[in-house]
Chain A
Amino acid sequence: MTVIAVNPAGVHAVPAYSHALVGTGTPVFLTGQIALDAEGRLVGVGDPAAQAAQVWRNIRSIVTALGADLTDIVKLTTFAVDRAHLPAIGAERARHFEPGRFPASTFLLVAGLAHPDYLVEIEVIVMLDDSAPAARS
């Protein structure tokens, strides 16, 4: 898939995300992922770094199952419940992307997530190459 990062002059450049990504193919909208393992148990109660790591494991599993990889992600939306968790969540995100290849991103602090122990939820938009199996099915 061809994905082009867009970072215009006049808009503050942020190292941790691109202002926009353009991609061709089939867009796939993933459900917001929380830190549940395959058995439905919450990973990392009270630990935003551990929850973020599990969230990214889940995202990677889904994206891989679609026949794509994390470089095909064009947009992230991160929902957190405490501003103090921002560094841990950002550090985990940074582990998964090459510098200069970050997706477009939105970060929000919300009053709560679906369960009081959930500290972070991340949803993504993936562009599937039209040759990817899931795009043809």
Chain B
Amino acid sequence: MNHTTITVDGAFRSDAFAHGVVARGALLAVAGQLALNEDGSTYAPGDLDAQIAKVWRQVEAVVRTAGGDMGDVVKITSFVTDPDHIGPVVASRAEVFPGGQAPASTLVVVAALARPEFLVEIEALAVIP
């Protein structure tokens, strides 16, 4: 990781996200990841925690296949279908990005995702040095 994390005074600070991140390198755009089995069926319908874990594994697989690691992620956007899902997603983010290395982050509650069984979708931008 060769990123500079930006934090500013006058805005709430948290180890769970950065206010901004400056990075140089190749931009990696990671598609919104969903809880899909390899055969395209829905993974763990109705199980939020399992879907969150599956989605993060896939984000990491994509970043690693591109030659980076999770420290290269500069921005994530998380979409959930219910405000009750916010807490578990925020908790998972802190586990995935420990020790104050969290990227810039946006979390959105949407009306629905592509299938009714999907509870969470997470996309990421990474910059690979």
The chain A residues found within 8 Å of chain B, CB to CB, are: 4, 6-8, 10-14, 17-24, 27, 74-75, 77, 81, 83, 86, 103-111, 125, 127
* A12 CB to nearest chain B CB (Å): 4
Point out the residues of chain A lying under 8 angstroms from B113, CB to CB.
Answer: 107-109
Q: Is B111 a contact of A20 with CB atoms below 8 Å?
A: no
Q: Is A11 a contact of B58 with CB atoms below 8 Å?
A: yes
Point out the residues of chain B lying under 8 angstroms from A4, CB to CB.
Answer: 66
Rounded to whole angstroms, the CA-CA distance of A112 and B27 in the bound complex is 30
* A4 CB to nearest chain B CB (Å): 8
| Other-chain residue from B29, B112, B121 in contact with A20 (beta carbon distance below 8 A) | B29
Point out the residues of chain A lying under 8 angstroms from B128, CB to CB.
Answer: 22
Query: Closest residue of chain B to A81, judged by CB?
Result: B111
Q: Is B32 a contact of A106 with CB atoms below 8 Å?
A: yes
* A122 CB to nearest chain B CB (Å): 13
Q: Is A20 a contact of B30 with CB atoms below 8 Å?
A: yes
Q: Is A27 a contact of B62 with CB atoms below 8 Å?
A: no
Chain B positions 92-129 with a Cβ under 8 Å from a chain A Cβ: 108, 110-114, 121, 123, 125, 128
